[in-house]
A = this chain, B = another copy of it.
């Protein structure tokens, strides 16, 4: 992570919401289930959602061998964005309505991972990102599965977080308007696991699929 803040990642609008602390950036990346990868094809922007995983200062995404995103991104600049939505901010004025959120934008050059060991580490990290412990609770990729899977590494070389928290912020002149104002918190919850109906008898439900463990997963990453 560079210690300087590049103009590209500097938060312009609501600069007070900008945060360049790697700890803050990493925590948001780790908590978000999915990311949004932006890349350029024939001069035009494309954004696709996908799972990501972080190992140190690198992000990894993966796709099938024929995946258009992977081919278009290898060796090219990409932008990876994640957002966690924390609430609705309902102000007295339409103008001051907002959301509470924690978001990160990462700029970096993507490179396909060709080293077998790094590729396996990245695929393990992708499964662990979604659910810690799951790589030990499922069959590892076979050589043929590895062949038809491609992995991209994106160094978190330029990144910024943007965070809005707390209550509404109305203008002084609006404070006496006869409108309700406040926030409505939002969060993701996991519900009761639904076992595959074809599950062989006698296979116990692992602890890590319990709803409370799924929701606390960012705190349990290796």
Contact = CB atoms under 8 A, between A and B. Distances in A.
A174 interface: yes
Nearest to A106: B47
A209 B184 contact: yes
A71 to B, nearest CB: 11
B186 A36 contact: no
Contact of A48 (B67, B77, B105): B105
Nearest to A37: B47
Contacts of A191: 184-187
A89 to B, nearest CB: 9
Interface string A84-98: 010010111111010
19 contacts: A12-B66, A34-B99, A38-B38, A45-B79, A48-B105, A90-B131, A92-B138, A95-B149, A97-B130, A99-B130, A168-B196, A170-B196, A175-B198, A179-B203, A181-B195, A182-B209, A184-B209, A186-B188, A186-B191
Interface of A: 12-13, 33-34, 36-40, 43-49, 51, 63-64, 66-68, 77-81, 83, 85, 88, 90-95, 97, 99, 101, 103, 105, 107, 123-124, 127, 130-131, 134-135, 137-142, 145, 149, 167-168, 170, 174-200, 203-206, 209, 211, 214
